[in-house]
Amino acid sequence: MLRLKPLILIPLFMFVITPAMQADVYTGLAYSGVTSGRKIPGLHVALVGDDSRISFISTGAKTPVYYHNAWQLGFYATWNPGDVLWGEVEAGFGGGILHAVRGYRDDTDDEYERESNTVYGPSLYIGWELFSNVLITLEALYGVRDSDALRLIFQENCVGSIGVRF
């Protein structure tokens, strides 16, 4: 239940404060590279203001012996630099935080070996309006994490999504 809380509460919080912000809501199907392996689908929800954006992405994968869940929150100052082909482009620069939990076990009867880590740093957002209010978006977080090895403290995460703004 603990892992479900961010998945439920953060989108709920965003929908609740939307009228107060007079913002649009973006909901989309995300694909994330957070596992550094196969692409995994996720949920992407964002509050879209005139010149700002709050974005939340929840993604995860599970097999009988393995799971990997991640949640990413980003805050962006946004602007409209122009059009690409027929669609308007929206760009944003800001900061983000990613929290990931993983578990692995050799056999289904074993206990999971669990670990988690948090990554934070600058992030970029860019979206292209494919059709009216249908967007393709890309968000990238350039983070640092807690690691003893200097060359391992950097971790980026890219998330692409397609969704609807309303």
Partner 1 sequence: MKLKKLIILILLMLLPAGALTAQEDSFSVMLGLGYAFSPSTARFSYRNIEGGILANGTNGLSVGLIKVLRSGSNIAGFGLAYRWTDAIGFHGSVGKSFRWLDWLRFRAELNAEFYTDSFTQANGLIGAEITW
Backbone angles phi, psi at 28, to 5 degrees: -150, 165
82 touches partner 1 (CB under 8 A): yes
158 touches partner 1 (CB under 8 A): yes
Q: Which of 126, 135, 163, 165 binds partner 1 (CB under 8 A)?
A: 126
Q: Which of 52, 99, 142, 145 binds partner 1 (CB under 8 A)?
A: 142
66 touches partner 1 (CB under 8 A): no
Q: State the nearest-atom distance from the C-beta of 137 to partner 1, in Å.
A: 8
61 touches partner 1 (CB under 8 A): no
49 touches partner 1 (CB under 8 A): no
122 touches partner 1 (CB under 8 A): yes
Question: Which of 88, 82, 80 has its CA nearest to residue 53?
Answer: 80
Q: Which of 115, 138, 147, 164 binds partner 1 (CB under 8 A)?
A: 138
CA distance 154 to 145: 6
75 touches partner 1 (CB under 8 A): no
120 touches partner 1 (CB under 8 A): no
Contacts of 40 (CB under 8 A, 6+ apart): 31, 32, 34, 59, 60, 61, 68
β pairing state of 66-84 and 87-104 = antiparallel
10 touches partner 1 (CB under 8 A): no
Contacts of 132 (CB under 8 A, 6+ apart): none
CA distance 11 to 47: 9
Distance from chain centroid for Cα 32: 8
Contacting positions for partner 1 (CB under 8 A):
31, 33, 37-39, 79-84, 89, 91-93, 122, 124-126, 128, 136, 138-140, 142, 154-160
